[in-house]
Structure 1
Amino acid sequence: MDFNDYRAKITIAEMAEYLGYTKISGPNAKYLEYTLGSRQMPEDKIIIYPNGKAYFSCKGDIKDKGDLTKFVLYRLDKFTNCTQTGYKGVNEVLSKYLGSDLKVATPTKNNITQSKNTVFDINKYSPRPLTETTATYLNKKRYLSRKTIEDFSSRLLIYSVGSKDNAGFPFRKPGQMEITNFEMRNYDPAQNINFKGFCIGGDKSNSCWIANFVPFDKVTEIYLFESAIDAMSFYEINHFNKNTTCAFISIGGNVTQSQIMSIKSLFPNVKWNCCFDNDGAGNGFDIATAYYLKGDDCKAFSRTVPGDNFKTIFISFPNGQTQSWKEEEFSSSHYLSSMKMENTINIIKTPKCKDWNDLLRYYKHFDLNLGPGMKFIPAIEDTVSQLNLRGYHLLADMFQINGKELIQSLIQRSTYCLSAPLAETNAYKLIVDCNVFMGIDTMVPIPNNLHIFDKTTQKTVSASAINEYLKKECINIFRDLNANDFKNLLEKQVLTYTKGNIERSFERILSPTGWGLKEYTPLKKKDINLGVEI
């Protein structure tokens, strides 16, 4: 027999189970998932494509993927009576397997017990209208407003389920009424963590949570999320209400082709917005969704390759082709653009935070209740970051300390002034007064005046001439200079400015009105005639 004969007679799933792998995917899953060892800390995890003839490992070598022969090749050490190596060993293993003369390393107890298909019993979870306990959890622990909670619970898009009043988001096959699962969330005070899970035996791969406020045929846009709480957070952040013609969808932490095709069938003429997490997995879900919408199959995931200290994103196709990138260097938008697929979906990522609920919490820490000032917060953070990079740490702190007042001023379109030291030595402190304006999408601090505080005399003198001189020379204090430049001016009376290959220096001058600057000209030694007349 040759390898093609073996492939025709033996499936990868069959060989995996023979080695002690446990099936963890649900009964309706399109992709089969198997783990070796405990489910929480598996020794290996493989995913088998729908045709059953190709797989890839989520934990092993990046080359550990392909057909049945590759699966056996990378696991020859587990067959104790295999005497050959390489593909000769593969041939020996498969031959002995068909002849029932094959031995494997003794599997652990966890490997031996195969998962049983459990039927989802909705009565076990006793779903009921939202209780005050559940509403309080969503409000206090997940920072969702009472209005947002009411908007969704009033349409029975959230239930209280189980004995602990978990928040239960009903999963259904798109277009059908029967509840097939619950995405459950709660807070565990004993471990101080947020609990998340799904029902035993529930369908997750073909079902999803869909929140629409108009009939299906009136929906104009859909927004996809990894969780229902992310969807509700996005709804609140962007000031949606129950009059919206948008639908908000949770795919439950993992996107499948069955989900996307069913959603597409339900909403055939809508705009698709992918709002998955701002991380490697979320970028992978963007890619998978785009391919599924085209009718193509793929699997995208991120993991840390053994020996690496970073995560790698993999995109794997049924033909065995795999593409990979460092997670920090990968952008789903750039990838889809390079593949001429940028018009398939619209990608929306959270600024700063990993997911939309994190962003909601972040905004509410500013105590703005998501009012019109919300849009200024990322700009403040960017400005603070830039100031810190240039060593203007005390000014950066002032932006954060006065954040709420600054935002209120920007809302009213009035000028806001901040004052803080830019640099300091044992003798002097340089202080800036700056006006803060809002550009199109960036915050612009403009230096209005400079002062010098003399620590010896305990007096403050003007340095406005320095500010005016720098403006005349088109040198921006916050863009072109840093704290060390000004510290050098305070210590050595020289300020050096470099742009490209050009370096210029300015020296301090003192006048009755305070400190100023002028172009620095190094002293030249006078020529001395050493000739002697005789």
Structure 2
Amino acid sequence: MAELTYEDYKRRLSIQELLVDAGYRLNRRDGLRYPSYVRIDSDGRRVRGDKFIVTANGFCCFQPPERKNYNVISFIKEHPHFFAEYTPGMSADRLVNLVCRRLLNEPQEIRETRIFNPNKNGKPFDMDEYDLQAFRMDDWESQKKFYPYFKNRGIDLDTQRAFCSHFFLASKHRTDGKVFTNLAFPLSLPAWPGKQIVGLEERSRPNAEGKTAYKGMAAGSNATKGMWIAQLNSHRSDVGFNVPLSGVKDVYWFESAFDAMAFYQIEKKETVAYADLGNAVFVSTGGTPSIRQFAGMLEQTPDANHHLCFDRDQAGQLYAVNFALQMNGRVFNSHMTKKDTLVVTDLTGKYGRTELDVRTFDFEAICKELGLEKGRIDYRPPSEGYKDWNDQLMGKRMDEDKEQENTEERQTRFRR
């Protein structure tokens, strides 16, 4: 197989060829001296404001009114959703290679790790490979084993007891004789919450500096459809859940189980309404949420209110918008650019592409701009100055200088 570099791609592929592959057509009205490419909707009409102009050297293009030039590499990286090979979360360099090799009719690169151990990646999650230790309400000795995992997170014993049916210690024996034990939050499918474990969201015991050395998913976990689903005090129920998902009043969404537990502990201390959380479920997507996770939970909770408690950063903001798009039945692609711009491509009916400045993120305004019914969605990130709910519980603020800078920017823009 030929080894190709980025220079090979830029030399052998024209930007015009790439624009055509991305779904654009030559606009002959603008002439051929500086060719322009436009997108056509389902009715055969131009999509206003969606045009790229090829530069004089023929190797780059730009999208008015901006003058930023894209070559074949940067165009793919900045507009990944234009290409069939793109899947959310994939490496931009990987996407460049896949698209360019296809256009050059070159055989696709095969990763050596897959050749070296072809069975490893395809092996499904097997709970029988783990020895489990439960947190038992009537056994103080069993509870003490969990202390090191929760201490540095500030999660107290009452909170652990409230969620104790939804975590355990999982030990795995390696072939070299070593044993590794992690705090595990079981993943299950929304259609069968708690009935069949399809993976584990794992956290290691903190090191001497108090930092968690490992966090991730157990091998073979179905993290695309599975998620951590928890209900308060469900140890009191013989069936594992006091209220079936179809009957819950509220669903609280987080990126990690630790954040969900921290949120509960904060709510319990700061409000008197936490008792209502008994008719709610807490879910963790274990990182970047997938469309299948959203769809699976929405199908099972048709009448619930959904509280989006994702991190207070651009990734968390993107997840909130993606959820609203999914709840409104949209077919879409979305991504954040390096210039604090949220790009949403709506493929539901007619092609629509919207760019939104998110330096001052306003969830309700964005929903209105995209024509989304906010309905039963409550956008609820951590308080100003905190990245996630566990940081808020610990009083660990983001960089205060940066936060002040953001506040001044918001005030300046507000006065305009």
- Pairwise CA RMSD of aligned residues? 4.1
Contact 1:285 1:300 in 2 (8 A): no
Query: 1:221 and 1:125, CA in 2 relative to 1: closer, same or farther beyond 3 A?
Result: same
In the alignment, is residue 183 of structure 1 matched against residue 179 of structure 2?
no
Q: Which amino acid aligns with 1:346?
A: D
In the alignment, is residue 342 of structure 1 matched against residue 347 of structure 2?
no
Question: How far does residue 63 in structure 1 lie from its aligned partner after superposition?
Answer: 3.4
Question: How far does residue 185 in structure 1 lie from its aligned partner after superposition?
Answer: 1.5
Question: How far does residue 270 in structure 1 lie from its aligned partner after superposition?
Answer: 1.1
Question: How far does residue 199 in structure 1 lie from its aligned partner after superposition?
Answer: 1.1
User: What CA distance in whole angstroms lies between the structure 2 residues aligned with 1:250 and 1:69?
Assistant: 28
Question: How far does residue 328 in structure 1 lie from its aligned partner after superposition?
Answer: 2.6
User: What CA distance in whole angstroms lies between the structure 2 residues aligned with 1:118 and 1:145?
Assistant: 37
Query: 1:66 and 1:191, CA in 2 relative to 1: closer, same or farther beyond 3 A?
Result: farther
Q: More strand by proportion, 1 or 2?
A: 1
Corresponding residue of 1:274: 308
User: What CA distance in whole angstroms lies between the structure 1 residues aligned with 2:367 and 2:304?
Assistant: 19
Contact 1:167 1:185 in 2 (8 A): yes
User: What CA distance in whole angstroms lies between the structure 2 residues aligned with 1:118 and 1:211?
Assistant: 27
Q: Which amino acid aligns with 2:363?
A: S
In the alignment, is residue 118 of structure 1 matched against residue 152 of structure 2?
no
User: What CA distance in whole angstroms lies between the structure 2 residues aligned with 1:270 and 1:224?
Assistant: 12
Corresponding residue of 1:220: 249
Unmatched segments (≥5 aa) in structure 2: 1-16, 22-72, 87-91, 136-141, 172-178, 233-241, 269-273, 409-416
Q: Over residues 45-101 of structure 1, what are the superposed CA-to-partner deviations in whole Å (9 max), with x where a residue is unaligned?
A: xxxxxxxxxxxx99953134424699999659966xxxxxxxxx94xx3xxx4xxxx
Question: How far does residue 221 in structure 1 lie from its aligned partner after superposition?
Answer: 1.1
Figure out how many residues of one structure are paired with residues of the other and give that number: 291
Of 149, 159, 168, the residue aligned with 1:159 is: 168
Contact 1:134 1:167 in 2 (8 A): no
Corresponding residue of 1:333: 364
Q: Over residues 242-290 of structure 1, what are the superposed CA-to-partner deviations in whole Å (9 max), with x where a residue is unaligned?
A: 9721211111112222222221222221111111111111111111111
In the alignment, is residue 210 of structure 1 matched against residue 221 of structure 2?
no
Corresponding residue of 2:42: none
Q: Which amino acid aligns with 1:179?
A: I
Q: Over residues 104-142 of structure 1, what are the superposed CA-to-partner deviations in whole Å (9 max), with x where a residue is unaligned?
A: 7x8774586567311111122223203446521343111
Corresponding residue of 1:229: 258
Contact 1:225 1:275 in 2 (8 A): yes
Question: How far does residue 201 in structure 1 lie from its aligned partner after superposition?
Answer: 0.8
In the alignment, is residue 193 of structure 1 matched against residue 211 of structure 2?
yes
TM-score scaled by length of structure 2: 0.59
Query: 1:330 and 1:158, CA in 2 relative to 1: closer, same or farther beyond 3 A?
Result: same
Contact 1:206 1:258 in 2 (8 A): yes
Unmatched segments (≥5 aa) in structure 1: 8-56, 80-88, 305-309, 366-380, 390-534
Question: How far does residue 226 in structure 1 lie from its aligned partner after superposition?
Answer: 0.8
Query: 1:116 and 1:246, CA in 2 relative to 1: closer, same or farther beyond 3 A?
Result: closer
Identity between Structure 1 and Structure 2 (%):
21
User: What CA distance in whole angstroms lies between the structure 2 residues aligned with 1:118 and 1:59?
Assistant: 36
User: What CA distance in whole angstroms lies between the structure 1 residues aligned with 2:211 and 2:344?
Assistant: 32
Query: 1:318 and 1:147, CA in 2 relative to 1: closer, same or farther beyond 3 A?
Result: same
Q: Which amino acid aligns with 2:261?
A: M
Q: Which amino acid aligns with 1:347?
A: Y
Question: How far does residue 302 in structure 1 lie from its aligned partner after superposition?
Answer: 3.6
Contact 1:58 1:303 in 2 (8 A): no
User: What CA distance in whole angstroms lies between the structure 2 residues aligned with 1:344 and 1:77?
Assistant: 39
User: What CA distance in whole angstroms lies between the structure 1 residues aligned with 2:78 and 2:277?
Assistant: 48
Question: How far does residue 330 in structure 1 lie from its aligned partner after superposition?
Answer: 3.6
Secondary structure of the 2:306 match is strand
